Amino acid sequence: MATSSFVLSDQPAHSQHSVISNKEKYQSTLLIKRIMPSTLTENVRKTVLENGLTVLTKEVHTAPVVTVQVWYKVGSRNEEPGVNGIAHQLEHMMFKGTRNRPIQFGRLFSALGSDSNAFTSYDQTAYYGTVERNKLKALLVLEADRMQNSQIEPEQLASEKRVVISELQGYENSPEYRLNRAVMQAVFPNHAYGLPVGGTKADVEKFEVEQVEKYYRNFYNPDNAVLVIVGDFQTANTLETIKETFGKIPKRQELVVIPPSSPSSPSSPSSPIVLREPGVGRLLQVVYPLPDANQPDVPALDVMDYILTEGRNSRLYQALVESGLASEVTASVTSLRESGWYEVLVTAGSKQDLKKIDSMLSSAIANVAEKGVTSEEVEQAKTQLIADVILSNRDITSQAMRLGTDETTVGDYRYTDRYLAAVRLVKPTDVVTVINKYLTKEVRTVGFFEPTQKMIAEVGDKPDSAQTTENFSPLAPVLPSEVMKYLPPVDLATDAIAQILPQEFKFTNGLRILLLPDRSTPTVTLSGHIQAGTEFDPDNKAGLAAFVSENLLNGTNNKDVLTIAKVLAERGASLDFQTHREGVHIEGDSLAEDLPILLEVLADVVKNSTFPVKELELHRQQTLTDLQLELDEPSEVARRIFVQSIYPKKHPLHTFPTEESLQQIQRQDVIDFKAKHYRPDTTVLALVGDFDLDIVRSLIKNEFGDWEVSGQAPTLKYPTVSMPEEIVSVNPVLPDKTQAVTYMGYTGINRYDPRFHAALVLNQILGGDTLSSRLGAEVRDRQGLSYGIYSYFQAGKNVGTFLIEMQTSPEDSSKAIASTREILQQIHQQGVTALEVETAKRTLISNYNVSLANPEELTDRILMNEVYGLDKVELHSFTDKIQKVTLDQVNQAARELLHPDKIVVVTAGPSVLAEKNMR
């Protein structure tokens, strides 16, 4: 849920993840449980400095990277009506610079190549960065500086309040968010847990410098903070550095905690809360109050949640989704410092009644309470929970997150040890007990979202003078020399990184596999690619490629859908297929011992899927509901119209699914598409993990060796697309949305373009990072016009798209677009500086090296290098190619690839925006 954490991000809002739901919260560090003999925190060391700073250190020497995180014990729990959102506002201000370093800290983190961000939640605010190990001290110096020296200037607060309001408007666009706000306020009418974490526009607008400074002085001090360091470092040396950097910060005695009202008696309205607002798709939300994280019932509640909602075999999925009443059901247990809740969210099926769904939901839960659960269900849920913990937290950032959450939420970094020991002891009777104790109709709060009808209208298909002639000339960019001036010194790297390359094998049927053993965790990550993407969709049956991939797991010659789901769930393994433009991406994860099962299921579904009629029709209804919901999101509407404004009809990129095209798809179409495009000679598999090369090669040969191929693989030739002759501006109207989303761009380059690496450096300078790029520094940071603005060159086998994406308040869209075009013009004509190029190269190289420490990113990188036909040494030579990019090459790329006057601009949002532009 968007309400659980607010992230200062340079990524689109839809990719942000919650940090406090228990499905993630307790799936965070069990990884080490399988490696170590006793407890997952066995090699964690806790040190408390004289000034009260708690330091948690954990050496993990599997990759030459380290994560540094500072957690403050303050969140929205420490707020009250009138100052709701002040913790979140302060989090934003912490990037604005200090007395010692009056510069946007995002620029400093970017120059270090740190994967840095921050979030505010109910019980804590955290700042985190992951870097190459030789930059550890530099990161510590920066965090110590902003713990005591941050400056909150009136002008900067004013611009950042606009950014926060833009962020909140993005969340307000979502009916799910608005419904959750109303329900949570009813559940906790007298406690801060009922307030939205990010605040409200009304409160944010009123914040004064003195208020924010008071919160900073009150809560940001060493005795209210936890410093967590996990990765490749030496504890003794690092503790000495910490004492040097943080030890001098004085303890502040005047800590004043705003006492929240008692959470012991949450409210429960007898009748549902009903929101009748513009939107599409009916939603049902049910919230049950739960105890705080330290209460002994929490482990049984999590096991209960898995039994009720995890996977195709779960009780609520069977009762609501398989019956066609709902298209989706999700749930999560939230356990916090002072209270908790169980939240169930149901997306109704087309034309289904919410009262009927609510009645069926209550009946299904009552049925479980009355008839009980089986030992098999409980053991499967426990296995899934434990495997999810291991598989979702193989990287050091996640391991540190777990320690920080435990220490700040319940005051004990070893909390998850106790929790997991208790999970193993959960019995069927315990699950029934907690259902009877907490999931009663008397205590629950119910919310209905009943959408009012609306139409999407398109306004304008020609340049808008209001968008293209305003001249908001940006200031001169922050000089890279200023960044260097304030950057702490970096330790010299001590030794080179070992460059291990994957082994490549090709079978006689054309299947290619790449294998890289990695013993650091007892897991295996599988990535795959099949050349069966949306580019092959027929014009009148758009959505067919996705229909095929998303139904592969719904039955084969000898296993039905529930059997397949059970085989994977019993081992906590996951297998997923996602359809992209140029192919279907396979994602699989399992514990090392369960790899044979994962490969067996994968081979069975790609070779023998049968596409049962019942499952196809259920999927069609779910897809139609999803389409309705997507077309209510400004980002999706803007993306569709943007792409279709660049690529003409009959181009493989022009086609998008519609209700009509999805209704046209027949079962025989699905069968034929699968037979034509799912072939071993267009399939690549990459595996990284704890396995023996020869054994895995043999396993794959046994499972896939008989996959036959006939004839030549289908191919496509993309037609050449010319640039627009002028600025093309389109404004689709989505009534009653609070935030506008803009896409700007045109056709770009492919992966083989000789300018590819120079384009990456250029993009990093232009908009590769919301806090440190030219676009970010001007449009977001100085003018406060956008919560997020970023640019990309999407480059695949075929020519992709260059695009800039931003989210703005509707009234700020024109100004943000004009400023963006000014910056494009500036770089196109004047180029960039040598220091900008060197800084961007260092950032790209550092980020790349950090990414290779994450098994999923490493596996994907190996896979796509093979798909693009690159040499396998590209895995390590990529950084050399970036390093060799010259200033002249970047400036040539700027002249050839940036076209501010030949650009498609699509802004989707409220009608006020279109009316303004049409004057």
Distance CA 564, CA 554 (A): 8
Q: Is the pLDDT of residue 423 over 50?
A: yes
Q: Is the pLDDT of residue 468 over 70?
A: no
Q: Is the pLDDT of residue 917 over 80?
A: no
Q: Is the pLDDT of residue 90 over 80?
A: yes
Token output for 892: 């040539």
Strand 340-348 relative to strand 283-290: parallel, antiparallel, unpaired? antiparallel
* For range 162-180, the mean pLDDT: 93
User: With contact defined as beta carbons under 8 Å apart, do 521 and 31 qualify?
Assistant: yes
User: With contact defined as beta carbons under 8 Å apart, do 313 and 376 qualify?
Assistant: no
What's the pLDDT tens digit per position in 142-159?
Answer: 999 999 999 999 999 999
Is the C-alpha dihedral spanning 523, 128, 337, 341 positive or negative?
negative
| CA angle (96 as vertex; 399, 741 as ends), nearest 5 | 80
Instruction: Indicate the SS3 state at residue 487.
Output: coil
**Residue closest to 63 by CA, chosen among 458, 570, 518, 382:** 518
Distance CA 512, CA 498 (A): 25
* For range 690-710, the mean pLDDT: 94
Distance CA 316, CA 364 (A): 7
Q: Is the pLDDT of residue 5 over 70?
A: no
Is the C-alpha dihedral spanning 857, 858, 860, 861 positive or negative?
positive
pLDDT at position 610 is 97
Q: Is the pLDDT of residue 476 over 60?
A: no
For the chain, how long is the longest CA-to-CA vector?
78
Distances (CA, A) of 333 to 123, 343, 648: 16, 7, 47
Q: Is the pLDDT of residue 28 over 80?
A: no
Backbone angles phi, psi at 773, to 5 degrees: -80, 170
**428-438 vs 298-309: helix crossing angle, rounded to 10:** 90
pLDDT classification of 265: cutoffs 50, 70, 90: low
Listed in order, strand segments (DSSP E) in 300-456 are 326-335, 340-348, 445-452
pLDDT at position 201 is 95
pLDDT at position 474 is 44
Beta bridge partners of 451: 277
Residue in the block written with tokens 């149901």: 346
539: exposed, middle or buried (Cβ count in 10 Å: 0-12, 13-18, 19+): exposed
Cα 898 from chain centre: 29
Q: Is the pLDDT of residue 866 over 80?
A: yes
pLDDT at position 257 is 52
pLDDT classification of 539: cutoffs 50, 70, 90: confident
Token output for 900: 């501010």
pLDDT at position 209 is 96
pLDDT classification of 41: cutoffs 50, 70, 90: confident
> How many CA atoms are closer than 13 Å to the CA of 590, on its beta-carbon side?
24
Token output for 763: 């993009």
User: With contact defined as beta carbons under 8 Å apart, do 573 and 596 qualify?
Assistant: no
| CA angle (390 as vertex; 530, 117 as ends), nearest 5 | 85
Residue type, 66: V
What's the pLDDT tens digit per position in 252-264?
Answer: 766 555 554 444 4
Is the C-alpha dihedral spanning 128, 129, 135, 139 positive or negative?
negative
User: With contact defined as beta carbons under 8 Å apart, do 107 and 87 qualify?
Assistant: no
Distance CA 666, CA 664 (A): 6
pLDDT at position 26 is 32
Token output for 188: 């906790």
Backbone angles phi, psi at 419, to 5 degrees: -60, -45
Distances (CA, A) of 279 to 172, 455, 709, 734: 12, 10, 47, 9
pLDDT at position 259 is 52
pLDDT at position 477 is 54
Strand 523-530 relative to strand 683-689: parallel, antiparallel, unpaired? antiparallel
Distance CA 211, CA 84 (A): 12
What's the pLDDT tens digit per position in 484-537?
Answer: 889 998 887 655 556 789 999 999 999 999 999 998 888 999 999 999 999 999
Listed in order, strand segments (DSSP E) in 3-141 are 6-8, 44-48, 54-59, 65-72, 115-120, 125-132
Residue type, 423: V
**Residue closest to 234 by CA, chosen among 109, 114, 112, 134:** 134
pLDDT at position 11 is 37
* For range 749-754, the mean pLDDT: 96
What's the pLDDT tens digit per position in 106-144?
Answer: 999 988 988 899 999 999 999 999 999 999 999 999 999
Q: Is the pLDDT of residue 372 over 90?
A: yes
Residue in the block written with tokens 């109050």: 289
**Residue closest to 890 by CA, chosen among 831, 825, 845:** 831
pLDDT at position 891 is 98
pLDDT classification of 62: cutoffs 50, 70, 90: confident
pTM of the shown model: 0.89
Q: Is the pLDDT of residue 809 over 60?
A: yes
Q: Is the pLDDT of residue 17 over 80?
A: no
423: exposed, middle or buried (Cβ count in 10 Å: 0-12, 13-18, 19+): buried
Distances (CA, A) of 136 to 16, 220, 490: 25, 21, 8
pLDDT classification of 916: cutoffs 50, 70, 90: very low
User: With contact defined as beta carbons under 8 Å apart, do 685 and 528 qualify?
Assistant: yes
Distance CA 772, CA 107 (A): 4
What percentage of the chain's residues is helix, strand, coil (to nearest 5)? 45, 20, 35
pLDDT at position 490 is 87
pLDDT classification of 910: cutoffs 50, 70, 90: confident
User: With contact defined as beta carbons under 8 Å apart, do 693 and 515 qualify?
Assistant: yes
Between 791 and 519, whose confidence is greater? Answer: 791
pLDDT at position 479 is 67
| Percent of the chain with pLDDT strictly greater than 70 | 89
Strand 44-48 relative to strand 584-591: parallel, antiparallel, unpaired? unpaired
User: With contact defined as beta carbons under 8 Å apart, do 433 and 694 qualify?
Assistant: no
| Percent of the chain with pLDDT strictly greater than 90 | 76
Distance CA 314, CA 321 (A): 10
pLDDT at position 123 is 96
Q: Which helix (H) or strand (E) holds 671?
A: helix 667-677
pLDDT classification of 6: cutoffs 50, 70, 90: low
pLDDT at position 897 is 97
pLDDT at position 498 is 64
Mean per-residue pLDDT of the chain: 89
Distances (CA, A) of 327 to 109, 125, 624: 42, 35, 9
Distance CA 13, CA 635 (A): 10
Enumerate residues 6+ apart whose C-beta is below 8 A from 717: none
Q: Is the pLDDT of residue 27 over 50?
A: no
Instruction: Indicate the SS3 state at residue 719.
Output: coil
Q: Is the pLDDT of residue 672 over 50?
A: yes
User: With contact defined as beta carbons under 8 Å apart, do 573 and 387 qualify?
Assistant: yes
Distance CA 3, CA 18 (A): 8
Q: Is the pLDDT of residue 676 over 70?
A: yes
* For range 364-375, the mean pLDDT: 96
Q: Is the pLDDT of residue 36 over 50?
A: no
pLDDT at position 42 is 79
Distance CA 23, CA 7 (A): 19
pLDDT at position 16 is 31
